[in-house]
Chains A and B, each alone.
Chain A
Amino acid sequence: MQRRKFLSLGVVTAVSTLLPSSVSATDFRVEAPASWEAAGSAEAVKALFGDIKPIEGQIKIKAPKLAENGGAVPIGMKSKVKVTTVALFQDANPRSAVAVFELGENGLFDIKTKIKMRKTANVTIVAKGIDGNFYSQVQKVEVSIGGCGG
């Protein structure tokens, strides 16, 4: 954790000398490789954020009650809480992590994307607020046809 903080500080300094109003560019695939290999959401969250106690009930997940095409399940996530990082996990594929989003200082927590889900499973969103707290939300998404191609 300490090392990551130190590294990201370094990135901020390096980037800010070029672009004064820029925020850091973080590649979480490089920074937290273990979280991309974890099979379960709980494990992946721990590998990415450490041992956290997230607050529930602040994030709204918008997903279909029954997804007809598991190859592209629309997932929307939204909150009034100001956050820096939003991570999306699911338990329907061999590995849990789908994407980690980072918002600039003017970024709003209002993101939509489409994911693969080969079976009915939980979708987990974990976000890191600018207040330093973690927020999370879990929602079950039912899938009628598998879409992982596997």
Chain B
Amino acid sequence: MKVKAKLKKGVVGVKVLAKSPMVGKEEAEKKKVDVEFITHITARVNGAVVFEASTGPFLSKNPYFQFAFTGANKGDKLDVDWVDTNGKTAKKTAKIK
């Protein structure tokens, strides 16, 4: 997973690139692979949730998210974590630049 967070004029812009094949049940049957997609992704700054998404298999492979929020400072830590259909999790911390 890649996370970038940049503060500009009081607004923090975040780009997240998660890693998952995002295979839903129709695609899994056709390609004879297992269902595997991210179901929930959460972003927190200093412990407070700033953005979260409940997701389904119709996001692109290796899903991309871009979002924005205010009220954070340069150097604050942004934690992003996700969980998928198999219970697999991933976590990444980025400093707001």
Residues of A within 8 A of B (CB): 19, 21-29, 36, 71-73, 76, 90, 93-95, 97-104, 106-108, 110-116, 147-150
Could you say which of A26, A98, A149, A150 has the most chain B C-beta atoms within 10 Å of its C-beta?
Answer: A149
Name A116's closest neighbour in chain B (CB-CB). B58
- How far does the alpha carbon of A65 sit from the alpha carbon of B70 in the complex, in Å? 31
Cβ-defined contact, A71 with B65, below 8 A:
no
Cβ A115 vs Cβ B60 within 8 A: yes
A38 to B29, CA, bound (A): 19
What would 12 A/B residue contacts be, using CB atoms closer than 8 Å?
A19-B47, A22-B44, A26-B52, A29-B54, A102-B51, A102-B52, A102-B53, A103-B50, A104-B69, A110-B66, A110-B67, A110-B68
| A107/B56 in contact, CB under 8 A | no
Q: What is the CA–CA distance of A108 and B52 in the complex, to the nearest angstrom?
A: 12
Contact residue among A22, A101, A106, A108 (Cβ-Cβ distance under 8 Å from B47): A22
Query: With A and B bound together, what is the CA distance between A27 and B54 in angstroms?
Result: 6
Most buried by B among A28, A90, A116: A116
Per-position contact with A for B22-61: 1 when CB-CB < 8 Å, else 0? Answer: 1110110011000000011010100111111111111111
> How many residues from B make CB contacts under 8 Å with A?
37
Which chain A positions have C-beta within 8 A of B57?
116
Chain B window 63-78, contacts with chain A (Cβ cutoff 8 Å), 1 for yes, 0 for no: 1111111111000000
- The closest CB in chain B to the CB of A69 belongs to B60
Contact A21 B48 (CB under 8 A): yes
Q: Which of A22, A111, A116 contacts B60 (CB 8 A)?
A: A116
Question: Does B90 count as interface, using CB distance less than 8 angstroms?
Answer: no
Q: A114-B59, A116-B60 are in contact. Are A108 and B68 (CB under 8 A)?
A: yes
| With A72-B61, A111-B67: A19-B55 Cβ-Cβ less than 8 Å | no
Q: Residue among B23, B52, B59 with the most chain A CB within 10 A?
A: B52
- Answer whether A71 and B68 are a contact pair too, CB < 8 Å, given A19-B47, A99-B56, A103-B51: no
A101-B67, A113-B66 known; A71 vs B26 contact (CB < 8 Å): no
- Contact of A72 with B60 in the complex, beta carbons under 8 Å: yes
C-alpha spacing A43/B24, complex, angstroms: 20
